[in-house]
Homo-oligomer: A and B are copies of this chain.
Amino acid sequence: MFKKILVANRGEIALRVICACRELGIRTVAIFSEADRDSLHVRFADEAVCVGPAQSSESYLKVPSVISAAEVTDVDAVHPGYGYLAENAYFAEVCEACNVRFIGPSPQVIRLMGDKARARARMVQAGLAVLPGSRGALDSLDQALEVASGIGYPVIVKAAAGGGGRGMRIVRSPGELSSAFSTAENEARLSFGVPDLYLEKYLERPRHIEFQVMGDQHGKVVHFGERECSIQRRHQKLIEESPSVIVDQDIRERVGRQVEEALAEVGYSGAGTVEFLVDEDRNFYFMEMNTRIQVEHPVTEMVAGVDLVKLQIRMAAGEPLELEEPPRLRGHSIECRINAEDPETFRPSPGRITAFHVPGGTGVRVDTAVYSECQVPPYYDSLIAKLVVHAPSRPEAVLRMERALEMFIVEGVRTSIPLHQRIMKEPDFLAGRLDTGFMERYA
């Protein structure tokens, strides 16, 4: 087992990793920017090294600084948390070159999964379904019409080089395709310099459901059930839960086994998440894979009774993945992300926290690195706490979340707590009628 781990992150996830290390008897090194000198991850690590100024690009994201910190503190592994360098294959390679274990999958696997097109192709080959569509760019409108009629309307036309909604058109009938095609082509040319378009099936109200997996270095991959993450705002998840109301034990076992097999094939090790879009007929379409621990991992920990970060570290140290029994989900867990932001405008609300009181009691977990009188710097993510509840059933979990939200006191900065309180009362939420458009319709 490792003797000392450098935690290449900040905030709650850095503290989360430090907790896991302590429970494994491993010493820890925190890195911090000048803005984070008084942070709890600095306070609770055994050692701490300032790696740069406030800007992430000059500190938490700066590979030479982070590697250098690992070298001068003589650690034998680096835990990247999520975000920052967590899915940076180059960083993972440099770690290996410096004889520091990167806690995550191999650089090759990170790179494979980081290339969304390659990842999809590989997963299709391994047996997972993806949204039907054109493979690669379309040659012409005629080809588009042919592909579209093959997969059925509605379809979505997207810029191959694109993102952010530009060069993107939803098409509901063959008659609409012609004009949509030329508009999208123009937008794509103007926005990205490349007119190439591709086309795939458009899901009206998809759910975002993901599977948590863990692999050891000896070829074994196990899944820990699914998370329902459909409540998002601009692709930022707000509320996550496990299990999903539309996943029964049959689906869980079937999709879970497919995922395990596909990942075992690519030699996956460490923690990872396989994301799916799910249509109303419960078809699971592979979207992408995240090769790291996720923000929302606690909901899985609650229902599966595991410590994913400890497991992650043990896998990286080469231990075999041995579980007494196949993971069984118990009860229901929900996580609300508490962000320092205006609950109406969603604008970040950095500043000094003047009062901070977290809820406790039965079935309540809070992951946070802030405290009374601390400063929430304007430079980073606005996530200040994760409020997680666990109860025997979903309705009980919702009621528990409501009382926990009410007992969560944050003064000095605005937070998303009132937003979560409203969502907990929404009939659609209570009924489990969730899809990725929930927040658009709602807010």
Contact = CB atoms under 8 A, between A and B. Distances in A.
A372 interface: yes
12 contacts: A15-B361, A22-B402, A23-B399, A23-B400, A298-B362, A305-B330, A306-B392, A307-B391, A309-B362, A357-B372, A361-B365, A365-B365
B305 A19 contact: no
Give the interface SS of chain A, mostly helix, strand, loop or mixed. Answer: mixed
A309 B400 CA distance: 13
A301 B362 contact: yes
A413 interface: no
A227 to B, nearest CB: 16
Contacts of A364: 365
Nearest to A370: B357
Interface in A9-52: 15-16, 19-20, 22-25, 44
A251 interface: no
A222 B363 CA distance: 22
Contact of A361 (B331, B361, B367, B392): B367
Contacts of A23: 396, 399-400, 402-403
A424 interface: no
Interface in A344-368: 355-358, 360-368
A438 interface: no
A305 B396 CA distance: 13
Interface of A: 15-16, 19-20, 22-25, 44, 298, 301, 305-307, 309, 330-331, 355-358, 360-368, 371-372, 391-392, 396, 399-400, 402-403, 406-407
A22 B403 contact: yes
Nearest to A368: B360
A44 B407 contact: yes
Nearest to A385: B360
A16 B15 CA distance: 27
Contacts of A391: 307
Nearest to A396: B23
A305 B331 CA distance: 9
A305 B328 CA distance: 14
